[in-house]
Structure 1
Amino acid sequence: MTADPETTLRADARRNRDQILAAAKSIFAVSGPEVPMEEIARAAGVGVGTLYRRFPDRDALVRAVAMDNFERVLIDARAIAAEETSSWRALERLLRQSVELQLSIQLAMVSHRALVILKSDPEVRRLRDDILAVLDEFVDGAKAEGRLRLDVGAGDIAILFATLLRQVRAKSTDVAEMAARRCVGIMIDGLSARPGTELPGRPITSHDLDPAEDHI
């Protein structure tokens, strides 16, 4: 028996798309989203024509990369919620695993065009809100467990995480990733419930966040 040509074509198209997204993620993380499309096609092992058939312009590719990252974070968050019996452990896991989020934040910070894309896209906004809803659950549960300090909110954590990641700069991607993980560890330690410096004002909630900003 021979493979169905249409099925083979769909599989090839999906593989090409995945290769392009993987290449774009790696290159965007190092050089930002303004790199030549030819460079992305070359790294993906596809022709420029194939790239443009999948993504007609740079905006479409930037959006696809951001969507893929946010979807992965949301899948991780929901899986963690289902697997963990402790909200504090769930919160820890989410923060430690969310390195995918780093690229989305860097995209928005590096390129004005990328920032406009992420701010105005309703699907990106929906995914962001869904992630924040899971984060709210983790925060409320961790406070109820007595593991998370009471004077912080989900908005505080989202802002801390975004600020931390956008500041990470290093000579190599290995050092940058290690630095990000170390800083997340320090951040988690500071969030744990124990006597410490009293914070000014009130906890910042997810509803306080401006959806036009790139906190998450």
Structure 2
Amino acid sequence: MSADPETPLRADAQRNRDQIIAAARAIFASHGPEVPMEEIARAAGVGVGTLYRRFPDRDALIRAVAVDNFAGVLDDAKRLSVEAPTAWDALVQLLYQGAELQLSMQLAMLSQRAHEILKNDPEVARLREAVLLEVDDLVLRAQAEGSLRKDVGAGDVAVLFARIVRQLPAHRLKMPELATARSIAIMIDGLRAGPVTPLPGRPIGKEDLL
């Protein structure tokens, strides 16, 4: 993020920042956070100098993308919690939202570089915990509805999703979006209440991931 995120940006500066964040989000999701900064600037339609004025190094850009992304996931989770007809529907829709949740999982759990940058960041920690609290609430409510199997926790859902969205090299998967959607559908069926195979151990809760 910029050196002083509380200072309002001019319209053109804000537009440049938004373009950089959007480009970095898309590139991080498909290729990880190690992509050259020049490529991110080119995708954003700005000069490299503009990128570095807003984000002095890669760590600052990764943090800004993470904060922006976790905030988006949190907004989606809160909105679905209110708007969806049931907690199960809200959880399913959140999982199918895809891109923002996918990138959040990649940055939080799958990228070692991003994990090292973000693990002690207070704003990222606050947002990540808030997202997990929303997921935990949906899990408990869906279990109370009788829709979600009783022997899973919010951590189980997060870990399952993180494993599903782990990116395969493009040359090995011709239709990554379709493959991910099918995998999520299989995961959702595995989470439904009903005759199931007992799981080993205990449910993985949100506290296991914080």
Distance 2:182 2:169 in 1: 13
Q: CA deviation at 1:169?
A: 4.6
Query: Given that residues 24 and 40 in structure 1 are in contact (C-alpha distance below 8 angstroms), is that contact kept between their aligned partners in structure 2?
Result: yes
Distance 1:98 1:46 in 2: 27
Kindly indicate whether residue 194 of structure 2 is the aligned counterpart of residue 197 of structure 1: no
Distance 2:173 2:17 in 1: 24
Question: 1:92-145: per-residue Cα shift (whole Å, max 9, x none)?
Answer: 111111431222333456753322112121111111110111111111111111
Instruction: Describe how 1:1-216 pairs up with structure 2 within 5 A.
Output: 10-107=10-107, 111-166=111-166, 168-171=168-171, 175-209=175-209, 211=210
RMSD (Å) for aligned C-alpha atoms: 2.0
Q: CA deviation at 1:185?
A: 0.7
Alpha-carbon distance change, 172 to 67 in structure 1, aligned in 2, over 3 angstroms = farther
Q: CA deviation at 1:37?
A: 1.6
Distance 1:140 1:110 in 2: 26
User: Percent of pairs identical after alignment?
Assistant: 64
Gaps of 5+ in 1: 1-8, 212-216
Distance 1:30 1:94 in 2: 20
Residue 150 of structure 1 aligns with an amino acid whose one-letter code is K
Query: Given that residues 168 and 179 in structure 1 are in contact (C-alpha distance below 8 angstroms), is that contact kept between their aligned partners in structure 2?
Result: no
Residue 129 of structure 2 aligns with an amino acid whose one-letter code is D
TM score, norm. by length of structure 1: 0.85
Residue 155 of structure 1 aligns with an amino acid whose one-letter code is G
SS of the residue aligned with 1:120?
Answer: coil
Distance 1:108 1:153 in 2: 18
Q: CA deviation at 1:62?
A: 0.9
Distance 1:206 1:165 in 2: 19
Alpha-carbon distance change, 109 to 188 in structure 1, aligned in 2, over 3 angstroms = closer
TM score, norm. by length of structure 2: 0.88
